[in-house]
Structure 1
């Protein structure tokens, strides 16, 4: 017993001494080992990524919402809840607004029509959030930043190869972690009808929420044999988000700009990762507004 206590004490002292020495080394060499952030400008373009569910329920995602759980953002009380969400996002005071839309969607024309009073009854979040916020803040333009994928490019040239690569990538995996994740997604489709929209959007856009969503792509079909799952994910979903990130990079902006990115929450988790790790941008937490 006495030996054990002495051993524990010596380990503790050794650990404590090591920490002190490590601190001394850091202090002595801090002029050489500069913080990585010191290599970049202190002021950077601020970016707020707002991941959301799709207000109009287009049914394009694997996880579907039952009719009884769908909400109508044009009717009370959800109409007022959308207004509350809009007011909250406007605290960011964006100078540029981007949405999840393809370039051929005709954004410029639709936004001009919106400013003239049209499309106010369209449930899509691109209208209810993106256009409304840009219009309220007197912005001249909204940017479409959705992108096609490298996998779709390859499918046109090499359909046989792509068919073999994607065989079994159907979100039907028996991986226990994939099933746990799917259970959480199924339950989440009920949340908009049970809680305030702002609370749900805050919940989705936490660091934990984004980590959960990001992680869902690293289980299930990702584990297909011969690296097929990893290969397909990289040229499909991850590539799409990289291309979206690149489109945002290409928007003419300065370090004084504040870019609002409104996308489906699956995109938000990857975009968060990209903006947080890019030396060009200052990622703003949604909960900090």
Structure 2
């Protein structure tokens, strides 16, 4: 009996040790999400900033400073907001840039993404975007009018324009690094996502749910982006940087936080 107890104790101890070891040794890829404003206008967003000249010497100096800080992460991959089906084109442009045969456009995908990837000595930059049209948007205003819910769209517009004025003021008064830090605060991320969740989702509720379906279009796009991101991370990647429009970050952050293959790095821990 004593022998059996000894064996049982040994097996339990071995199981605990093995489980603990497995937990301690599980590799998680660190991922840093950087929400940005779009440097070039006009863009595809319904509400967007009237940005200033990011090619001006002052802004170029700030971009150098920002990417020098981000370089310290020693990231293995840089992912940008370009469609996956444009990877070959982006590869060509990035390779030309590495050989000093390409001048960066004003796009933040190049001004931050290409510039940072080069500083990290990366041979490749990853495209992870995919564009799903907001298929139900055309029906939202029709439904809102039919259901006497136009006030929701008016409130949404007022909130969005107020947010744009706030961001415009921040952009005009601060360096790019400070702007990036500001727009990635939890409060600002919530404000952006609430435009969908607070207003759109109510339209048609209880009947055709057009508002909810429009919100689902936004979530679908971000889920597809998320799928592209996790499909392009391999087991050897220790650190990945994702550079995307700020509006995408709340959803992408939520998705990645619930995937135990990843450790989401808080931006304020990097841009101190």
TM-score bin (small chain): 0.7 to 0.9
Kept after mapping to 1: 8 A contact 2:67/2:116 = yes
- How far apart are 1:78 and its partner, in Å? 1.3
Q: Following TM superposition, by how much is the alpha carbon of 1:96 offset from its aligned partner in structure 2, in angstroms?
A: 0.6
8 Å contact 2:27–2:261 — kept in the other structure? no
* Counterparts in 2 of 1:151 and 1:193: CA distance versus 1, 3 Å: closer
Aligned counterpart, 1:135? 118
Which residue in the other structure is 2:170 paired with? 191
- Map of 2:243 onto structure 1: 262
* Deviation at residue 133 of structure 1 after TM alignment: 1.1
User: Cα 1:168–1:53, aligned 2, differ >3 Å: closer, same or farther?
Assistant: farther
How do 1:65-104 and structure 2 match up within 5 A? 65-66=49-50, 70-104=51-85
Question: 1:179 deviation in Å?
Answer: 2.8
Partner of 2:179: 200
Q: SS of the counterpart of 1:189?
A: helix
CA apart distance, 1:41: 5.7
String of CA shifts for 1:140-159, please: whole Å, max 9, x gaps: 1111111122765xxxxxxx
List runs of 5+ in structure 2 lacking aligned partners.
1-21
For residues 180 and 264 of structure 1, do their structure 2 counterparts lie closer, same or farther at Cα, with a shift above 3 Å needed? Answer: same
- Taking a change above 3 Å as real, the CA distance of residues 75 and 165 of structure 1, as seen in their structure-2 partners, is closer
- Measure, in 2, the Cα distance between the counterparts of 1:178 and 1:64: 12
Could you tell me how far apart the structure 2 residues matched to 1:239 and 1:40 are?
34
Measured after TM superposition, the shift of residue 110 of structure 1 is 1.3
Matches of 2:203 and 2:161, distance apart in 1: 17
Check if 1:115 corresponds to 2:105.
Answer: no
Q: What pairs with 1:42-53 in structure 2 (closer than 5 Å)?
A: 42-53=26-37
How far the C-alpha of 1:260 sits from its partner, in A, is 0.7
Distance in structure 2 (CA, Å) of the matches to 1:54 and 1:190: 15
Give yes or no for the alignment of 1:56 onto 2:40.
yes
Q: CA deviation at 1:87?
A: 1.4
* Aligned residue-pair number: 241
**Contact residue 50 and residue 262 of structure 1 kept, 8 A:** yes
| Cα distance change on mapping 1:164 and 1:57 into 2, 3 Å | closer
Normalised by the size of structure 1, how large is the TM-score? 0.74
Q: Which runs of 4+ in 1 moved over 6 A?
A: 169-172
2:188 is equivalent to residue 209 of structure 1? yes
Q: Match of 2:263, SS?
A: strand
> How many Å separate the matches in 2 of 1:51 and 1:169?
31
State the Cα RMSD in Å.
2.8
Structure 1 unaligned runs (5+)?
Answer: 1-37, 153-160
**Normalised by the size of structure 2, how large is the TM-score?**
0.78
2:211 aligned residue:
229
In structure 2, C-alpha distance between the alignment counterparts of 1:163 and 1:263, rounded to whole Å: 25
Say if 2:263 is the partner of 1:282.
Answer: yes
